[in-house]
Amino acid sequence: MADEWIGDRNCDICKEDCSETVLYDCQTIHRGSWATLCEECYSKHGLPGGLYQKYQGTKVLGKTRMLKQESSNDNERRTR
């Protein structure tokens, strides 16, 4: 079974609903604190090279679910 985001689907900075798009659970440039960010806010506030998990809004049986697409751990395993 795919990993699924079950928390709040709104961006912590701009408050955009990310249910139909992409959501990042990531470290930020703000002292490395964690946040849930939309794609635009992630590009501005995400910590470069920091830890993250990326979720994509996906319709499954008529219901939108946030399924994990990738994480910083995936990228680390590829480089070994």
- The residues, ordered by sequence, that sit 6+ positions from 2 with a Cβ below 8 Å of its Cβ are 67, 68
| Strand-by-strand arrangement of the 52-60 sheet | 4-5, 63-71, 52-60, 22-27, 34-38
Taking the whole predicted model, whether its pTM rises above 0.85 is answered as no
Give 3-state DSSP helix, strand, coil % of the chain, rounded to 5: 20, 45, 40
Q: What are phi and psi of 11, to 5 degrees?
A: -65, 135
pLDDT tier at 80 (50, 70, 90 boundaries)?
very low
* 18-35: pLDDT as tens digits: 999 999 999 999 987 999
pLDDT tier at 75 (50, 70, 90 boundaries)?
low
* E strand or H helix at 23: strand 22-27
